A and B are shown apart, each in its own frame.
Chain A
């Protein structure tokens, strides 16, 4: 990211801020944890898909990591930080691998990322709590991950269709 233009940097900063805000808004306005602990739509991931679509994999990774760090400034760098980090780490690995095949649309990437995110989180919880039986929670998060991945891709697709309709001037 050494050749960042001011325009690109501004756009990425806005998207990063949007990701943090969406993450917070979802927590406050769209609580889904009553379905099962840890289940959430992951609205902020729409921003990740938009970054991947417009900028590429490097920026996608940077914005994702920065979003977790910035969110943790509000919530603290305790266990939740490590759980979020492990979810992001595994999801990013999956997305980067699938991205380089150049075969999948954002629906495939989003589903794989959401499922990997759940797996990463449960494995980290299992390690932190030193209990292999915590892994029994995996099917809940993988199943809901498929659904939330599809919904997030749908939202991102609709957002991108509208963004693409706006005339763009290259810097």
Chain B
């Protein structure tokens, strides 16, 4: 059988490691400085990648998305917005990742309830035509 790659790390791996750390740092700077929303911030609510709702980020809101409206859900999902941050307060799923994730205040950082095909993310307001 062929053995075309070395098992043990070498100098070139260190180069790759440094390059990847540099890449991560550059992306971090780019996302924090150049890729921030300029307009009105909202919480975009998606089910199966389709935007179903937009809620203002600086308006205290608690909204329940019902299973009877979205049969793909495992149960009702409660979304809470408070003082520029958002969280999934209650949901039905085996491991409860999205409610464990807690408050999110950074644009682009998604709250994903995978078994419910549900996602909430802070983004720039989209004006539907």
Are A104 and B13 in contact, CB atoms less than 8 angstroms apart? Answer: yes
Alpha-carbon distance between A157 and B5 when the two chains are bound, in angstroms:
11
- Residues in A117-141 with C-beta less than 8 Å from chain B: 125, 128-129, 131-140
Q: Which residues of A contact B6 (CB under 8 A)?
A: 104-106
Are B4 and A99 in contact, CB atoms less than 8 angstroms apart? Answer: yes
Report the minimal beta-carbon distance from B120 to chain A, rounded to whole angstroms: 11
Q: Which residues of A contact B24 (CB under 8 A)?
A: 115, 139, 142-143, 146
Question: Which of A79, A108, A137 gathers the greatest number of chain B CB atoms within 10 Å?
Answer: A108
Q: Which residues of B contact A134 (CB under 8 A)?
A: 108, 110, 121
Are B9 and A108 in contact, CB atoms less than 8 angstroms apart? Answer: yes
- Whether A37 touches B112, Cβ cut-off 8 Å, given contacts A111-B20, A139-B24, A157-B7, is yes
Kindly report which residue of chain A lies nearest to residue B109, judged by CB atoms. A137
B129 within 8 Å of A by Cβ?
Answer: no
The segment from B44-52, B62-70, B79-87 found at the interface with A is B44-52
Are B97 and A138 in contact, CB atoms less than 8 angstroms apart? Answer: no
Report the minimal beta-carbon distance from A159 to chain B, rounded to whole angstroms: 10
Are B4 and A102 in contact, CB atoms less than 8 angstroms apart? Answer: yes
Kindly report which residue of chain A lies nearest to residue B32, judged by CB atoms. A136
Number of interface residues of A (CB under 8 A): 50
Are A136 and B31 in contact, CB atoms less than 8 angstroms apart? Answer: yes
B1-28 CB mask vs A (1 if < 8 Å, else 0) is 1111111111011011100110110011
A72-109 CB mask vs B (1 if < 8 Å, else 0) is 00000011000000000000000000110111111111
Report the minimal beta-carbon distance from A33 to chain B, rounded to whole angstroms: 5
Alpha-carbon distance between A133 and B44 when the two chains are bound, in angstroms:
12
Are A142 and B2 in contact, CB atoms less than 8 angstroms apart? Answer: no
Report the minimal beta-carbon distance from B74 to chain A, rounded to whole angstroms: 15
Question: Which of A102, A128, A138, A168 gathers the greatest number of chain B CB atoms within 10 Å?
Answer: A138
Kindly report which residue of chain A lies nearest to residue B7, judged by CB atoms. A157
Q: Which residues of A contact B12 (CB under 8 A)?
A: 101, 103-105, 108
Are B17 and A52 in contact, CB atoms less than 8 angstroms apart? Answer: no
B interface vs A, CB < 8 Å? Answer: 1-10, 12-13, 15-17, 20-21, 23-24, 27-28, 31-32, 35, 37, 44, 46, 48-49, 95, 97-98, 100-101, 106-112, 114, 119, 121-124
Further pairs besides A31-B95, A55-B1, A106-B6: 9, Cβ < 8 Å: A53-B2, A53-B5, A56-B4, A98-B16, A104-B6, A105-B6, A129-B49, A133-B124, A138-B27
